[in-house]
Structure 1
């Protein structure tokens, strides 16, 4: 089924090169990333809209493009309920509580707050260690998801796909710091959104229109939104999805990526605007991902052939790449756009993770043991940390390939 041509490789390659180019630009402009303030928090003078988009895509990835549609295809669209709880928590808790708490402190690592709050370095290091574990494993899952999509659509083996994504993220993050991460996120947001929209539009047209898509999904039970069953063993219910993700929103609010972006803003009001924008944008992106799953289900229901049941694919995470190849046969460049969108989603998450890990490693661990350092040497150490964590996440990605289930579940 592989039909990845020269135009597709050009579209895919251009996305990678553009991301690297942005990293090079910020490596050679301004203060040239020679200070930890510029490298880790952009000199605390970043702009609202780019940071809001960056914050949103920091929590998007191949999980958003592959995992959520796969979950919808197999189990229905009820996970949409989760976005309301999550966004409510991000909007109110982050904007109204976390930003006024964190921004005036001018911190770089969220764990700095922990030490001040509890007057304990041990508690701070515990937070650091848990955060490092979380991010390395999360990035590994994200990179593995990208490899699934690339292998399905191109001839690139999973291991090489993983290496390509990690390598690109390491290079532009180490070169350009948080500024490169934020501005590549802006570029990658455009590519992701375009890729998602063309799949939804083309798939809907192939099924016969919006009414046909809606009818097929409804008959197939994919709109089972309001399940109020109190049984906690049921996979998805209103209670688990809404209130569970209301609590899960705490993670987004006190996440290192969130705090790092909050403290990169010049003013408190600007930092609040970032969170007020990021919540609705995240909700919209999640909704578009759910629509891909609905379109995929309706498309194969329309054909009368479920690729999972027929054995054409063995993993539900392959459903979106499989659909993309099906609907864009004979149209040059469209598969390249999909791969570019998938890689953009993962690059944004991985680069944000690398920047966050670099910041916490320096501020929470190494800075304490290197009291007489120069700012230039500190920045160099932070850049080396980016490389180390990138390689670590590659190892995790290889391990994750042994785990079953949809990416959302993993």
Structure 2
């Protein structure tokens, strides 16, 4: 086997990656507005450009778990998991059409502001915030721990050092540079990640005999199992649970806090849509590349005649890529360092996005609504301190996982699985079910969490659940290490969900081949495949939430606000006559207020309105002044009728929401920013 040690060049490349990442944060701390307002710190003053935002959104969901877990999944079980990525792709296309136009015009900072606007309930918003923050905190701990354990086992890089380095670097540049630093650092790190993946694919394919040989070996040994048509819901991976399960869960991806921050950091709806148009195919391609790393790894070790898992040179499939890197790049100083830099970049991108999101949630949902008005500078300081605190929390979770091991990992996995689907269901209940009220939303969400927790807990503790069966290993006849017939494998693969993430851990230890036995009774229920967890959680929330809404006084058509709704009838049955669609809508109005492009367009941002009116009043004749006064009175009447939304919008208002060049409101066109429900259209002078 190859020598597994680092050269000076490897450490230099790794150090450069960390230093540049921190340097970007420091740069953004001293340029522009210097991160002195919460709007700039959390949203970049809503003026971020398309490509950087798109790349940042892309890598925010491509963590070190993707870098290690996807190849490991393919190595052990085959490439069927890639079908899930086509489901995510379909969900992203759906988001471009109907989800982004719902979220972007609201100009929210926290994803959970939508819940209060929609259900007119602060309790529902806080429920969503707490669940989202718990989800993020646990996930960040897993992201820190995953690469640390793999690097320590294969490359000898200290586990504790790995966790601390990533956490400190992410905390520094996120707290100093805010979302701008996170986005631009993500751009830099994306190239590092891409370089690392491409290097492995190219070199690994060459040493395996070329593209044809690599493909043939993988195909002959069952790794190219793209389509599995089995309809049994207990089978771990099938086309049905991967594609449709991912597509249904993926409809809520836009409600994830990282997504909301990036979508709402763009100035126009057209820009927001372009971000998702860029992300959708890029995400599909990147995940596919990670899956094919597993194909290359299997072909390489099959050609070599020594499966490192079966020969017990490694005990965790997540170590397969680092192990292969040290083999194929032996004698090439700098290449193992590039891989380590790409792995740490993946961790940094996800961790920094999580820290930025948690900071925004803490300020916007937990501090600002419950304290007296304070200066923007003080709010920004609180947000920066929150980044540091949540960074410590992530380290604490990662260290707990490393100390306690499997038990806490299973607890963490259960919580993440239980939260992801129901949280998505809460948002989908709000936008697709106009009759849903706050009580129904609250009870439905809790019901979904209880049900999924029950299933996942039963799956962990029941000895008779259906086991995951790995594909046949590569040969070991050319190994030069001691081998025993006892094979112990541990697989931890992590999948993403909506508005949040879904974690799945399968542990199997065998002294003989696993028999794929379908369980019966309650064990069949506990054996439901994990891709269905999110789907079950979503539909539980929507069904239970709807039932309890009708039992407790549903939201009547005249009480609903079309700004927060999506019409399934219009989207799915667009070909039907309007008269038929109106009947199917049950009397609910889904038509959004028109967005006018005149200079007299007035938003429900009262400070902006006042500034604009003052400016125009001082420069117009008496007749115009009277007209403007009448407009102001009309606006105030509309504001009184929408008191709840206006209060929320005032609460999250920043001066940067006005046009910084002339202190007036930005003009609207079909591609322009629409900042609220209230639009007063006045005739042109």
Q: Find out whether 1:268 has 2:266 as its counterpart.
A: no
* Alignment map for 1:6-405 (pairs within 5 Å): 6-93=8-95, 95-401=96-402, 402-403=405-406, 405=491
Which shifted more, 119-128 or 216-225? 216-225
What is the CA–CA distance in structure 2 between the aligned matches of 1:248 and 1:307, rounded to whole Å? 35
What is the CA–CA distance in structure 2 between the aligned matches of 1:156 and 1:312, rounded to whole Å? 17
Q: Check conservation: 1:74, 1:316, Cα contact below 8 A.
A: yes
What is the CA–CA distance in structure 1 between the aligned matches of 2:232 and 2:276, rounded to whole Å? 34
SS across alignment from 1:405: strand
Higher relative contact order (CA 8 A, sep 6+): 1
Provide TM-score, normalisation by structure 2. 0.59
SS across alignment from 1:46: coil
What is the CA–CA distance in structure 2 between the aligned matches of 1:160 and 1:194, rounded to whole Å? 24
Q: Deviations over 1:297-329 (max 9, x none)?
A: 000011111101101001110000000000000
What is the CA–CA distance in structure 1 between the aligned matches of 2:121 and 2:5, rounded to whole Å? 58
Decide which structure has greater helix share: 1
SS across alignment from 1:208: coil
SS across alignment from 2:197: helix
Q: Give how far 1:219 is off.
A: 1.1
Q: Check conservation: 2:36, 2:377, Cα contact below 8 A.
A: yes
Q: Check conservation: 1:153, 1:335, Cα contact below 8 A.
A: no
For 1:407, the equivalent position in structure 2 comes to 493
What is the CA–CA distance in structure 2 between the aligned matches of 1:183 and 1:91, rounded to whole Å? 25
Q: Check conservation: 2:154, 2:319, Cα contact below 8 A.
A: no
For 2:650, the equivalent position in structure 1 comes to none
Provide TM-score, normalisation by structure 1. 0.98
What is the CA–CA distance in structure 1 between the aligned matches of 2:367 and 2:332, rounded to whole Å? 52
Q: Give how far 1:2 is off.
A: 2.5
Which shifted more, 243-252 or 265-274? 243-252
What is the CA–CA distance in structure 2 between the aligned matches of 1:31 and 1:126, rounded to whole Å? 33
Q: Check conservation: 2:94, 2:251, Cα contact below 8 A.
A: no
What is the CA–CA distance in structure 1 between the aligned matches of 2:105 and 2:375, rounded to whole Å? 25
Q: Give how far 1:37 is off.
A: 0.4
Could you list the structure 1 runs, at least 4 aligned residues long, displaced by more than 3 angstroms after superposition: 152-155
Which shifted more, 109-118 or 157-166? 157-166
What is the CA–CA distance in structure 1 between the aligned matches of 2:149 and 2:69, rounded to whole Å? 11
What is the CA–CA distance in structure 2 between the aligned matches of 1:61 and 1:160, rounded to whole Å? 19
Change (3 A) 1:152 1:11: farther
Q: Give how far 1:5 is off.
A: 1.1
In structure 1, list runs of 5 or more residues that go unmatched: none
Q: Give how far 1:153 is off.
A: 5.0
Q: Give how far 1:251 is off.
A: 3.6
What is the CA–CA distance in structure 2 between the aligned matches of 1:371 and 1:159, rounded to whole Å? 41
Q: Check conservation: 1:141, 1:407, Cα contact below 8 A.
A: no
In structure 2, list runs of 5 or more residues that go unmatched: 407-489, 495-503, 506-685
What is the CA–CA distance in structure 1 between the aligned matches of 2:26 and 2:19, rounded to whole Å? 10
SS across alignment from 1:407: strand
Q: Give how far 1:388 is off.
A: 1.0
Which shifted more, 157-166 or 46-55? 157-166
Q: Give how far 1:148 is off.
A: 2.7
Q: Check conservation: 1:191, 1:344, Cα contact below 8 A.
A: yes
SS across alignment from 2:251: helix
Q: Deviations over 1:126-155 (max 9, x none)?
A: 000010011111111111122134324543
What is the CA–CA distance in structure 2 between the aligned matches of 1:393 and 1:78, rounded to whole Å? 32
Q: Check conservation: 1:61, 1:348, Cα contact below 8 A.
A: yes
What is the CA–CA distance in structure 2 between the aligned matches of 1:372 and 1:244, rounded to whole Å? 44
Count of residues in correspondence between the two structures: 409
What is the CA–CA distance in structure 1 between the aligned matches of 2:243 and 2:315, rounded to whole Å? 31
